[in-house]
Amino acid sequence: MSERESAVRMEPLAMRHAPEVQRYVSDPAIPAMMDNIPQPYPPDGAADYIRSNMRRQTEGKVWTYAAMVGSDLVGVCSIRLEDEDVPVLGYWIGKPFWGRGYGSAAAKLGLKRFFSETDFRLVWSASHARNPASIRILEKCGFQRIEAEKSAFRSGQEPSVYFKLERDWFAAA
């Protein structure tokens, strides 16, 4: 792990992170790459998102971490249980921090905590084909590409790439 990556630490996402989440996710560049963030981002979006995640976390349905460098939030990593309790990794890094290795570090640290806190053996993820940085993050974590297909997205059909990660692959990555 690079020096920049080792600067990242994870902590549970909390209401005190709301102003930074609001600021970064209000930048259209973040929701443009994710289909689960509304665009434009509502004025109370961060507070609602954090409250929802805190509630779902107590139910054992989501593990959401703030990626921190020093006292600054640089992004969020989340693993949420979707249909039939399938864990799915998602993450974003604030635009001012792109290209510094923080996304890879956040995903790796989030997965490490998830696997240490649960018995799940498999995690899924996806990326838009037009987001090579996200694809590279998943590959660095040990995810294996399983398929590419067009899927519904904001403006219609866009190519998406789907990945899976087995616990053993992550340990070896």
State pLDDT tens for residues 76-128: 999 999 887 899 999 999 999 999 999 999 999 999 999 999 999 999 998 88
The CATH label, of 3.40.630.30, 3.30.420.40, 3.60.21.10, 3.30.1360.70, for the domain at 3-172 is 3.40.630.30
For the chain, the domains span 3-172
Per-residue confidence (pLDDT) for residue 41, from 0 to 100: 84
| Three-state DSSP state, 69 | strand
Give the chain's end-to-end CA distance (angstroms, integer).
11
d(CA 44, CA 36): 16
Per-residue confidence (pLDDT) for residue 157, from 0 to 100: 61
Q: Tokens representing 121?
A: 């053996």
- Per-residue pLDDT tens over the stretch 38-53: 888 899 999 999 999 9
- Per-residue pLDDT tens over the stretch 120-170: 999 999 888 888 999 999 999 999 998 766 555 445 567 788 899 999 888
Instruction: Report strand pairing: 72-82 vs 86-93.
Output: antiparallel
Question: Is there a contact between 160 and 131 (Cβ–Cβ < 8 Å)?
Answer: no
Give the DSSP H or E segment for 82: strand 72-82
Query: Which residues have CB under 8 Å from 52's CB, separation 6+?
Result: none
